[in-house]
Structure 1
C-alpha cells in the first residue's frame, strides 16, 4: 500500500481536527441545553404571576378599616404592609388581600391577589434575564399591591364591624377557592372586637365566652373551615380595656374550632 504524502497527511489531520472540534461544539450545545432544561423554573401565569403548576403556598391578609387609624398606626401599617409584600411572602406564594368594612357583602372578594414571581436574585445570568425578572417583580407584583394601601384605610368610623362574617368569606373565597396544598398563613390586622346587631363584644364580658357563643345559632352560622392555616393577629388597640386576655382566648378557641391555630399575637404600635 502506498504511503500518504506529507500534504495528504496534513490534509487528513486537518480534517480530523475539524471533525473533533465540531463534535466538541455539539457536546457543549447539548450540555448547555440540557442544563437549562434541568434547571428551568416552571413558567408563570401571565395574569396571576403564579407558577403554571400552581402556587407553592398561600398568604392571606385581612385589614380592618371599620375604624380610622391614628398617625402612628398609619406609619406602622405602612411598614407592616411593605414587609408582608416584599419580605414575608415567599417566591411562588399567592398573596390575597381582603378588606374588612361595614358591608361584608361588598368585600367578599379580595382587593388584589397575585403570586410573588421572585426578583431573580437567586438565578444565574446564564439562564435567566435578571433585569427583566426584577422589573416584573417591581411593576407587576409590588406596585399593584402597594396601590391598594389607600383602599385599606378609612377616615370615618363604621357602625358595625362584622369580623366573623369576613373571616368566613376569607375561608371561602381565599383558602377554599384556591385549595393550595402548601403553607397557609392568615394575617389579621384588626381590633378583634366584633360588633353586629346579632353579636357585639362591646356589650359585656359575657360576650367573650366562646363555648357559650358557639352554641348559639349565630355562632353556628358564622363557623368556618380555614384548612389548617397559621393565624397571626395584629391588634389595633382602639379600646384596650376590652382587648384583654379574655378577648384573645375567644379568638384562639374560635380559630382552633375552624381548623386553624393562632401562632403569633402582636399589637400594632399606636
Structure 2
C-alpha cells in the first residue's frame, strides 16, 4: 500500500472515531438533561399556605393534646421529646395537625395544620435551592411546631375532660374527609386518659370496660377509625383508684372496638 493511501485510511479512521466520540458525548449530555428534567418534574408543587402537595398529602398525623389539666414540668419535658419524635417521623408531603382538647365536647382547638415540605436534604443543587428549601421548612413547619411544644405545660383545670369526643371529632373532621380517604392515618393522644364527662366519668365509674359498655358513652362516642394507628402518651395523676395498666387495657379495648390499631402506650415521666 502506498504512503498516500495509508494516510487517507488513517484520516478516515480518525474521522470515524471522532464522530463516535461526539455522538457518545452528545448522548450522555442528553441523558443527563433528561434525568435532571425528570427530577425537577417529579418535585411536587406545594400549596403556599399549607405547604402540602397540590394533589394532596401522602399521609396524615393528628396529635390531640389534653390541656384540660396542668402537668408537671418533668412530664412537659418528656412530652416535648415525644412530640418532636413524632414530628420528625412525618415524611415530606405528610400532613400534621395539632389539636388541643377543651372542656367543651363539641369544641377542639387547632394549633397547627400543615405539611412537611421537605428540608434541604430532599433537594440537590442541580434541581433545587437547598437554602430556600431549608428556610421554608424552618419557617413554615419546624418553628411553629416548636412554638406549640413550648406551650405544652400551660394547661388550665377544666370541668370536663372529653377525650372520647375529641377523638371522635378528629376522626370525623380530618380522617374521614374525602380527600384523605385513601392515605395512611395516625393519631397521637397525649393526655392523662381519664375520661370525665356527664355521660361517663372514670373518676366515679372507674375503668371497668363492661361498666362503660352499659353506659350511653359507647353509642355517643363511637367512631369508625378504619385501621388508623393510635399512639397513647399518658400523663400520670396521683391518688387514682386505678393504675396505668388498667387504663391501657381500657383504651386498648375501646380502640379495637372502633376498628383502630393501638401502636403503643407510653407512660410519661413525672406525676401531678
TM bin, normalised by shorter chain, reads 0.7 to 0.9
Q: 1:5 — aligned with what?
A: none
**Following TM superposition, by how much is the alpha carbon of 1:241 offset from its aligned partner in structure 2, in angstroms?**
4.1
Q: 2:4 — aligned with what?
A: none
Q: Distance in 2 between matches of 1:36 and 1:65?
A: 48
Q: 2:227 — aligned with what?
A: 228
Determine if the alignment matches structure 1 residue 193 to structure 2 residue 194.
yes
1:173-188 paired onto structure 2 within 5 Å: 173-177=173-177, 178-188=179-189
Q: SS at 1:203's partner residue?
A: helix
Q: SS at 1:246's partner residue?
A: helix
Q: 2:265 — aligned with what?
A: 265
Q: Distance in 2 between matches of 1:150 and 1:173?
A: 26
1:57-206 paired onto structure 2 within 5 Å: 57-85=59-87, 87-107=88-108, 110-149=110-149, 152-177=152-177, 178-205=179-206
**Following TM superposition, by how much is the alpha carbon of 1:25 offset from its aligned partner in structure 2, in angstroms?**
8.2
Q: SS at 2:190's partner residue?
A: strand
Length-normalised TM-score, structure 1 = 0.82
Q: Distance in 2 between matches of 1:29 and 1:44?
A: 30
Q: Distance in 2 between matches of 1:116 and 1:60?
A: 13
**Following TM superposition, by how much is the alpha carbon of 1:92 offset from its aligned partner in structure 2, in angstroms?**
1.5
**Following TM superposition, by how much is the alpha carbon of 1:188 offset from its aligned partner in structure 2, in angstroms?**
0.7
Structure 1, residues 139-198: CA drift from partner, whole Å, max 9, x if none? 111112222335544353112101111011010122112425232211110111000122
Q: Distance in 2 between matches of 1:209 and 1:172?
A: 27
* Alignment length (residue pairs): 255
Q: Distance in 2 between matches of 1:125 and 1:211?
A: 60
Distance 1:155 1:93, change over 3 A: closer
Distance 1:214 1:34, change over 3 A: farther
Is residue 202–residue 242 contact of structure 1 (8 Å, CA) maintained in 2?
no
Is residue 73–residue 269 contact of structure 1 (8 Å, CA) maintained in 2?
yes
Is residue 51–residue 116 contact of structure 2 (8 Å, CA) maintained in 1?
yes
**Following TM superposition, by how much is the alpha carbon of 1:219 offset from its aligned partner in structure 2, in angstroms?**
1.9
Gaps of 5+ in 2: 1-13
Structure 1, residues 13-35: CA drift from partner, whole Å, max 9, x if none? 9xxx99x97x8887566434421
Q: 2:218 — aligned with what?
A: 219
**Following TM superposition, by how much is the alpha carbon of 1:51 offset from its aligned partner in structure 2, in angstroms?**
1.8
